[in-house]
Amino acid sequence: MNKLFSLLLGVTLTLVTLSCKEPTEVVNPGGSGKPSTDKPTARPGKVYTVGKPLGNATTTTIGPQGGKLTSADERLTITVPAGAVETAQTFSIQPISSTGPQSLGAGFRLAPHGTTFKKPVTITVRYDPALLLGTVAEALSLAYQNSKGVWVLAATSKVNTDAHTLSVETTHFSDWSVLQRAVLMPEVGFVKPGGNLVLSVNLLTEDLLVPIVQDTDVPEPFESPSTVVDYSTWKLAGEGKLVPAAFKASYTAPSVPPARNPVAISIKLNGPTVIDGKPYKELWLVSNVYIGAEGLTYRINGGKWVHTLSGAGAQLLSTAGGAFVSINTGGTDSGNLSGVNIQAYPPLVESEVGTDNLLTYKTFVQPWRLEGFPSFNLSDKAGELMYLHQYRVGRVLYASPGALSFYRFGPVGDYVIGKFELEKAGVLYPGKEMSESTVRIEGFFRIKRTK
């Protein structure tokens, strides 16, 4: 279960003083945020609050001989070389919510604070390529929060796209996180049939694909100039209409949910063809846009999309066994008695935007399980037929392949957004033994949180 939550499992503690004492520098990432080839203007680093703990710290003692420490979720590893410390020191890794702009997953609080290592210590962070939404691995960078609250892109941060890791050498510890230097927003979009959605590319630096040669303060995210993205490459894969306008594009959805849902909207990055000695042909930012009315939409075996209504909304409920999320829908647009019930573990807080009550996520994935959460129940034909997240082979039950994914879990009054796939949903006629036949169910939801 720790691994489940660590994905997102990964990306803020009551205020504490951070240990990094490097002075805050004025960053010069350039650009005015408007399409222009003029000389860029300076962008100062933005001050952010400090992250909040998401769990207990993992600790170990490392002396002059060196050693390693890996976080409980196995996402981050500290490698201490021989001679980095003169005496035995307590090293620790604590997961925290990340306040860094455009964070990917949770952050980490590393200790000992206030110690300058005699030799650089290596921090290595794993990322899941399946969770890169609206961005690419080459646009990722490790960053730390300095004593003034400004996030700083580390100069020696490198991405290994084969091993799916980021690494950096540092002589000090602080709060660390993975930041996305370029993101196509929204990373995952939702629009009603016939509705309109505006997409844009947001940056943290303008020297996107050039290795960072010095620590760079992170400013407020800004819209991309033409030096970073190729305005002529906007593409739409699927139905609807896309109207490009420099670093932005306006998408108009078809009047009914299309068979291909979501549609994919993309734009290509400019930049050098060789990064850290490795050649790249093309790097594309892609946003998947779901088309459906508010509520929950599903289809069975690739058939027609069915939209169900949610009067109760999404709720965060508490029991003696812990908290869980409940999503209930009932009735369709045509008046059919079809409803879905989903229960799941609540996503962990990963990042905070603006206030403590506005929580966003970079995908929180929960594979289906036989016992516990998440669970899925689709009642069809006025309850005469049910589809479940488990299926039967002989006398043995198995959890369906597939998963439930949350893209957002906002506060009460805001939206809970996500999708689900069940590759082998079981078929049950109430009062009879569960059938050995299976169906494929897929769907998505955008439902207001009511509790």
Count of C-beta atoms within a 10 Å radius of residue 80 = 23
Report d(CA 384, CA 386) in Å as an integer: 7
Cα Rg of the chain (Å, integer): 23
Please provide the size of the chain in residues: 451
pLDDT of residue 214: 84
Q: For 249-307, what is each residue's pLDDT tens digit?
A: 999 999 999 999 999 999 998 866 566 666 667 889 999 999 999 999 999 999 999 99
Three-class DSSP category at 27: strand
Closest CA to 143 of 8, 51, 55: 51
Domain ranges of the chain: 2-28+42-179, 184-291, 295-448
What is the reported pLDDT for 321?
Answer: 78
Q: Is the peptide bond before 225 cis (omega within 30 degrees of 0)?
A: no
DSSP 3-state of 50: coil
For residues 89 and 34, give the distance between their C-alpha atoms in angstroms, rounded to a whole number: 49
Which conformational region is residue 179 in: left (phi greater than 0), alpha (psi within -120 to 50 degrees), or beta? beta
Distance CA 420, CA 406 (A): 9
CB of 164 closer than 8 Å to CB of 129? yes
Q: Class for domain 2-28+42-179, per CATH?
A: mainly beta
The whole-number pLDDT of residue 333 equals: 58
How far apart are the C-alpha atoms of 132 and 318, rounded to whole Å? 31
Which tens digits make up the pLDDT trace of 211-253? Answer: 677 888 999 999 877 778 889 999 999 999 999 998 899 999 9
Alpha-carbon separation of residue 436 from 119, 280, 368, 380, 396 (angstroms) = 61, 48, 18, 18, 10
Single-letter code of the amino acid located at 270: N
Provide the 3-class DSSP secondary structure of residue 113: coil
Q: Give me the pLDDT at residue 155, please.
A: 87
* Antiparallel, parallel or unpaired: β 76-80 and 89-96: unpaired
Q: Give the residue from 230, 235, 234, 228 showing the smallest Cα distance to 203.
A: 228
pLDDT reported for residue 10:
35
The pLDDT value recorded for residue 42 is 59
Q: Please say whether the beta carbons of 418 and 444 come within 8 A.
A: yes
Cβ pair 429, 296 in contact under 8 A: no
**Partner residues linked to 328 by β-bridges:** 341
Topology (CATH level 3) of domain 184-291: Immunoglobulin-like (2.60.40)
What residues of the chain score a pLDDT lower than 50? 1-39, 350-361
Confidence at residue 322, expressed as pLDDT on a 0 to 100 scale: 83
> Taking a C-beta distance cutoff of 8 angstroms, is the pair 109, 19 a contact?
no
